[in-house]
Structure 1
Amino acid sequence: MKTLHFDILIHAPREHVWRSTLFSPTYERWTATFSEGSRYEGSWEAGTPIRFCGPNGDGMVAEIAEHRPAEFVSIRHLGMVTNGVEDTTSEAVRAWTPCFENYTFSDEAGGTRVRVDVDVFGTHEDWMAQTWPEALLALKAVCETPT
């Protein structure tokens, strides 16, 4: 499995960037780049399950492997959700699980550096390589726009 790396400098305090990345309603705004109407179900607390779903409820099942608020969050993807049913054991899912999506937030002159390291599998590499930079630009706009 290959890991792709992305980063962006956001001109906002680290705590604000971290909250905007993970919590509603800003989470839904920047993740719409991946899927309009995307959302999560669950908690960002380490060791807890979480689902990442599109508007129809299909998506991915994961757990929060590690979370240090405003510093680092690691998502361990464990399977798929299709028609409301979790699949963590099929041969197709076992071919790529677990895979990780890690976010690192660090102070940098003028703001916060967000680094994303994401494992990719199958035919998703090109799509991820194109979509992640767009998503990070959307996150930057969310964080830098006064509310």
Structure 2
Amino acid sequence: MEKLHFDIQIKAEAIKVWSVLWDDFSFRQWTSAFTEGSFYQGDLQEGATIKFLDPKNNGMYSTITKLVPNEEIIFHHLGEIYDGIETPRDLGEVFERYLLTEDENMTHLEVEIHTTEELRSFLEEKFTDALSNVKHLAENQL
């Protein structure tokens, strides 16, 4: 298992950063750093299943194991999706954790990822750009 950590300081309140991360329109914008046209299906509720997809309906599905609005969300990845069909895969403890800490109109966004070795280089290459997109959107959107 590979453990990755990313963080960024954003000049915006945590509620704004959270909105950029998880509102459909801005989610599609910041995740374009990974794959153009990325989106998710499902409700952001603890215990809910979320599908992270590309325009060809390929991606992964996950359970939200923790959700504290505007502060923290953890996705436990369960399997992959090919042509819209869920394919369970024993990924072990593969998860993503987003943690927002606000201090005087600044938000520190930390992302911790436990992933497979095969995805490590892709995530290391793309996640910095994705977080730059989040920063730009949070600091410049009305």
TM-score, with length taken from structure 1: 0.92
Aligned to 1:17: 17
1:140 is matched with: 135
Q: Distance in 1 between the 2:56 and 2:112 partners?
A: 27
SS in 1 for 2:29: helix
Read off the aligned partner of 2:119 and give its amino acid letter.
H
Judged with a 3 Å threshold, the aligned counterparts in structure 2 of structure 1 residues 136 and 30 are, in CA distance, closer, same or farther, namely same
Opposite residue 124 of structure 1, the aligned amino acid is L
| Matching residue within 104, 109, 131 for 2:99 | 104
| Cα distance change of structure 1 residues 85 and 98 upon mapping to structure 2, 3 Å threshold | farther
Q: 1:120 aligns with which of 112, 115, 118?
A: 115
User: What runs of 5+ residues in structure 2 fail to find an aligned partner?
Assistant: none
Work out the CA distance in 1 between the residues paired with 2:36 and 2:24: 14
* 1: CA distance, partners of 2:42 / 2:109: 23
Q: Secondary structure, in 3 states, of the residue corresponding to 1:70?
A: coil
Whether contact under 8 Å (2:2, 2:117) holds in the other structure is no
Secondary structure of 2:15's counterpart equals helix
CA distance in 1 between counterparts of 2:105 and 2:36 reads: 31
Which 4+ residue blocks in structure 1 deviate beyond 3 angstroms?
Answer: none
**Residue 110 of structure 1: how far off its partner (Å):** 4.5
The number of aligned residues is: 142
2 CA distance for matches of 1:66 and 1:8?
Answer: 21
* CA distance in structure 2 between the partners assigned to 1:38 and 1:83 by the alignment: 14
Give the Cα–Cα distance (whole angstroms) in 2 for the partners of residues 132 and 20 of structure 1. 15
Q: 1:109: Cα distance to partner? A: 4.3
* 8 A contact 1:78–1:98 mirrored in 2: no
Matches within 5 A, 1:26-45: 26-45=26-45
Name the residue aligned to 1:86: 86
Distance 1:85 1:102 in 2: 25
> Is 2:16 aligned against 1:4?
no
Determine if contact 1:79/1:97 at 8 Å carries over to the other structure: no
Letter in 2 for 1:62: S
Partner of 1:54: 54
